[in-house]
Structure 1
């Protein structure tokens, strides 16, 4: 298998570049890729400091640099080394310039200006962390989404991912011996989604969790029959309440979150149509 050294060079946080690279790499199975992450490259001096590593590990360079001099220096050095360098946003930017009839601003990190959306995202993250694992159920009506499911069904990581997209998310574990608070069934605002997984997968995850805690005793927490009972219990609640269900067994966190956002948008569209509001 060929090993690829992938260099991600950005003049800002590199978050956008990292997401693009991750999305593209997801289309290649079992790719042996070593990522080298170079954020905040805003000067030729900084660029010169990373070039020895790039020279020692040639591969592919993906970059988002807006400064013309820094871009030109990177392109010249890569050309001299025989390394392909791809400006990943150029085609999109050029197409937007043509359609909007104006030139794009050349300020590094402009997409991360502290605007209202940024502060909304911070607020969503704070809310989500504070309402993890069934805590503060009296505030659930303020949430955009609520995720329910048995232990280790990806509720927390999915909630945090959604919070980073600007959604306020609460989550609650469903436990056979401890029925959820009545408040869960009276919610009007949040979209409630049930997360489930195959018992076999849950058992594997829970056993790994116990091992990481140096817990070697046999417990009901990772007993397959017990886990099957938990999954059935949760599914009955989802079915009785008519909540949408997402099986996370073979889904990544990103895929699960995308499915939830789609459900959320579809519900908002249906509500708008019912009251004759904007679609």
Structure 2
């Protein structure tokens, strides 16, 4: 099992995602002889998981059942242990697209936090790319490094415990893209520029407050970055439903009515969409910029 390579069969030592229904999920570490308790009863790892195919329907000891899924960055985002506030799939999708990440890309990230974005980056840059991620907090850095080893993606990532605003990313002239998720990203813009390749690349900064965005944009301009753009991603769902509308009756003398025509139907069915009354609130601002070729 690896977060960047799909496996068909559940094996001892894998990290699996258990779907409990009603959008409720959790992750477990599969171990020979272990059990995991759920509201449907116990899942016996040796008898119920090991050797089974991912996606299997597993019956628990109380008769209820769950699905066991192969881990993906999206599933990890909704089941990971929170050490910090995290980025969710809506923002992550925009970040990976607008940073122009692809297999083979080299990316610098700060801070690592709970590793939500890190896993999505690793899947995108695999199998030949690399992620250099920096975390200021020592225990969070050590925990993230251990998770990467457990998820078998440690060959694609280097974790550093240091202050990116003072010490940088620990690399120079190697990155195709840089991502900043720190309280004062404007203090790290110079280090981000130094970490990027001579032919240029893209940088993204995530900030919850517009004052942070203003300082970051000013720092990006001072360091020669171009195409500075700030976006806010809001998710809005449309409620699709069927409605029945009566057909108008223009009377016997209507030119649209023909004597030989069959009788009209009383109503017609249509599909319509309704906007939600409330929109999910603000998460953060994403500021993107391009380093020109030097």
- TM-score, scaled relative to structure 2: 0.33
Structure richer in helix, relative to its length: 1
**Max Rg structure:** 2
